[in-house]
Amino acid sequence: MKNALLVAYEYPPIGGIGVIRSVKFSKYLPEFSWQPHVLTVANPDRFYTTVTNEQVPSGVTVHRVYNLLNNLSIIEGALRRLHLPSRAIVPDIYRGWVGPAIRQGRRIIADQSIDLIYVTVSPFSSSEIGVRLKMETGLPFVLDLRDAWTLAPNPIEYLHESLRKRDDEYEKRAIHAADRIITATEGIAEQYAEKYPSESDKIVPILNGFDCDDIPNHVEPFSKFTIIYTGFFYGAQSPKTLVKALERIVKNRLIPADEIQFLWAGRDAPWVRAMFRSAGIERIVKYLGLVPKAEADALLYRSHLLFFLLGENERVSQKRILTGNIFPYLASGRQILALVPNGDAARLISEFSDDAVIISNDSIDEVTAAIVDAYHRWQGGDATQHIGPKTREFRRRNNYRVRTQELAAVFDSLTGR
């Protein structure tokens, strides 16, 4: 058994889709002869992170360090709400944890005979921990780009051009220092291979996945026709088209209001709540909060229509994006209503969903028709409980045990195994 230092700022009790990849990798790595030692933050930033009761996998050792710059004042919180720090501080506002993490990382490496350093970003400041520890120890360094950094689909509007250049230097330093660069999508891998052609042979896409252990043994479908969304709403990721379709359905009595509900699990967004109120449909909407991953997945199996969204606008393109929630959606085998651009997500859904409606034009008419059709199918007794051949193939190829085996193979290649 070899030992890996896994540096992950986003790790339980921090919640959200960003923690799932790290949690599942740490869960399954021991099966492939790698013992994970997780290094994470002890005091999550209350302005930007959310807390849930997501469980740490058994047998995983977790080391925590304090970020003394977190939660300094009400003024700081107000500035963050205005998004000023993200435009003025590079690579991000989490830099306060880097120094303590480097010091703790040294101790873990010495005490636990660490063989390899793995750092997952975002936050991108975490990359400096891997760079420094590699320089000091000579250990192999694997950088996991869960998100694109300077090539993000939603680019930062820096307060000054010099900040953009500094951010680019931070990224370049991390890319050059890493022995392998793991990306969560093939799109990110292609982007960075193009930007850094001399480093392209180090870039390996390892996609997200789903956990077979999160498939419930028994499913009791909701008594009402239920549409569910598990994820965050932000920026271009707006449910405006769905809201207008639900408004039309309720006002025109296309579906009786007492026979339909929309469930939403994720980080709260008051502006989305306001949209529901303004449309007069808040009585059919239930906000569930940020629930643990296994509970969120169980809700998918109890629902009748899974709403999946990749929003775009004039500044944001998500054609090459695969958000983490698409994997449990596809694993469930339930019908999917996807509002996505023609791109990677649309292709993945087409390949692996036995029952999906893909809409790429934000058509309220098409969304309305898809929901009403799914309702009539439910009324007719089609509870979509069967698992089709595409879903079975998806489960075989895209579960987190397979993904972790791919990661372990990268670790092995760097340590002479």
Chain position carrying tokens 């660069």: 181
Residue 29 has pLDDT above 60, yes or no: yes
**Per-residue pLDDT at 78:** 57
Structure-block tokens of residue 114: 């660490």
Instruction: Report the distance separating Cα 249 and Cα 272, nearest Å.
Output: 18
Q: Which H or E run contains 131? A: helix 127-137
Query: Does residue 231 surpass a pLDDT of 60?
Result: yes
- Residue range 113-128, pLDDT digits in tens: 999 999 999 999 999 9
Task: Give the alpha-carbon dihedral of 87, 91, 92, 97, to 10 degrees.
Answer: -150
Return the minimum-mean-pLDDT range out of 24-28, 210-214, 399-403.
210-214
> Are the C-beta atoms of residues 177 and 131 closer than 8 Å to each other?
yes
Predicted pLDDT at 90: 79
Cα(414)–Cα(21) distance, rounded to whole angstroms?
21
Beta-strand ranges (E) seen in 125-207 are: 141-145, 180-183, 203-205
| The domain defined by 2-209+399-414 carries CATH number 3.30.360.10 | no
In the chain, what percentage of residues exceed pLDDT 90? 73
Q: Say whether the peptide bond before residue 363 is cis (omega within 30 degrees of 0).
A: no
Lowest mean pLDDT, pick from 71-80, 101-110, 161-170? 71-80
Q: Percent of the chain beyond pLDDT 70?
A: 93
Mean pLDDT (the chain, rounded): 91
Q: What pLDDT is stored for residue 45 in this prediction?
A: 74
The model's pTM is 0.91
Does residue 382 sit in helix, strand or coil? coil
pLDDT for the residue numbered 11: 95
* Most confident of the ranges 62-71, 153-162, 342-351: 342-351
Closest CA to 276 of 313, 315, 322, 227: 227
Q: Which residues contact 403 (CB under 8 A, 6 or more apart)?
A: 24, 25, 206, 207, 208, 209
CATH architecture group of domain 213-395: 3-Layer(aba) Sandwich (3.40)
Domain range summary for the chain, segments of one domain joined by +: 2-209+399-414, 213-395
Q: Which residue has the higher pLDDT, 86 or 7?
A: 7
Query: Looking at residue 56, what is its pLDDT?
Result: 93
For residues 45 and 94, the answer to whether their CB atoms sit within 8 Å is yes
**Considering only 150-159, 275-284, 372-381, which range has the smallest mean pLDDT?**
150-159
Q: Which residues pair with 359 in a beta bridge?
A: 339
Tens of pLDDT, residue by residue over 291-306, are 888 888 899 999 999 9
Alpha-carbon span 193 to 26, nearest angstrom = 27
DSSP state letter for 322:
-
What is d(CA 284, CA 286) in angstroms, rounded to the nearest whole number? 7
- Residue holding tokens 């408004």? 247
14 DSSP 8-state letter: B
Residue 313 near residue 236, CB atoms below 8 Å:
yes
Q: Which of 89-103, 182-196, 219-233, 400-414 has the lowest mean pLDDT?
A: 89-103
Are the CB atoms for 341 and 310 separated by under 8 Å?
Answer: yes
pLDDT confidence tier of residue 417, bands split at 50, 70 and 90? low
Model pLDDT, residue 4: 98
For 3, list phi and psi in degrees, rounded to 5.
-115, 130
d(CA 217, CA 152): 38
Judge whether 191 and 148 are in contact, CB under 8 Å.
yes
12 phi and psi angles, rounded to 5 deg: -50, 140
What is the sign, positive or negative, of the torsion defined by CA atoms of 204, 205, 207, 212? Answer: negative
* 216 contacts: CB under 8 Å, gap ≥ 6: 297, 298, 301
Does position 380 have pLDDT exceeding 90, yes or no? no
- Other CB atoms within 10 A of residue 397 CB: 12
Burial class (CB in 10 A: 0-12, 13-18, 19+), 40: buried
Q: Do domains 2-209+399-414 and 213-395 have the same CATH topology?
A: yes
Three-state DSSP at 218 gives coil
Q: Write out the two tokens for 53.
A: 């009761």
